[in-house]
Amino acid sequence: MRNFVTASGKAIGSIGQGTWYLGEHPQTFQEEASALRAGIEAGMNLLDTAEMYGDGAAEILVGAAIQGYQRDSLYLVSKVYPWNAGGKQLQKSCEDSLRRMHTDYLDLYLLHWRGSTPLSETVAGMERLRAQGKIRAWGVSNLDTEDMEELFRAGGQDCRTDQVLYHLGSRGIEVDLLPWLQEHGVPVMAYCPLAQAGRLRRGLIAHPAVQAIARGHSATPSQVLLAFLLARPGVIPIPRTGNRAHTLENAAAAEVRLTASELQALDQAFPAPQHKVPLDMQ
């Protein structure tokens, strides 16, 4: 498995930080920046963002939050819109992201989802950016198994991740995508690892199996959900929060080690599908 490592060669923390919906409101900007810094201090030095998030606002937030840190101690990830993922527009999008984040390079640059741009054109553009030193590596997001197979046929064997929605209540990738990625040494970056807010998240948090396991570890239900993903080889969850206390709670989940019987209990409570299902994106 191709581990994520910083420019200095240090492996990143086992949990990263997402930024979807962050940076969009001036009244919470400093609180959110403080939350990201708390995560960095706690070992969550991978920060994931995208040009889509708040039309660049999240990238601006990340740029502000990382000031004062050694750049090579961080692992910065951003994503390009599919309609910007080729030719001169890919170059411009990358340079705009670098400017907003006040950095000279991205550790990882992702195609946000598949669009009409041929994958071969995106691969060629990503490799040009890497040769220029603007990115150290590239990957994709929201690509299913057939897309990944096509990507590899298009010369994309250097893809360093597939970032997809994955949590205890959404296990569809376990049918074929996750095994394919593991076989080909491509790590999974799991977004929305605590599920999005609403009935689904409440159902996960309040489930008796999750609650019982949390009590057994003196942990929170959210930490159990993260620990479930951490038990999967080659999976790094990237929870999002603008709250410092929640950030530290997420970071502490790295210390929760679920037993085989606990994983079995979660599997029985929230079984993976037995057949292929469409890739979840929300």
How far is Cα 127 from Cα 106, in angstroms, rounded to an integer?
13
How far is Cα 7 from Cα 103, in angstroms, rounded to an integer?
13
Residue 139: φ, ψ to 5°: -160, -160
How far is Cα 97 from Cα 46, in angstroms, rounded to an integer?
16
- Are 223 and 215 contacting, i.e. CB atoms less than 8 angstroms apart? no
Residues 6+ apart with CB under 8 A from 11: 3, 4, 5
How far is Cα 22 from Cα 216, in angstroms, rounded to an integer?
33
CA contacts within 13 A on the Cβ side of 278: 3
Token pair of 144 as six digits:
């299913």
In this structure, the chain runs to a length of 282
Residues 6+ apart with CB under 8 A from 251: 13, 15, 39, 42, 43, 44
Q: Which positions are catalytic?
A: 53
β partners of residue 188? 162, 235
What letter would DSSP give residue 109?
A: E
Instruction: Return the H-helix or E-strand segment holding 141.
Output: strand 138-141
Token pair of 199 as six digits:
């009935």
Residues 6+ apart with CB under 8 A from 27: none
Residues 6+ apart with CB under 8 A from 205: 221, 222, 225
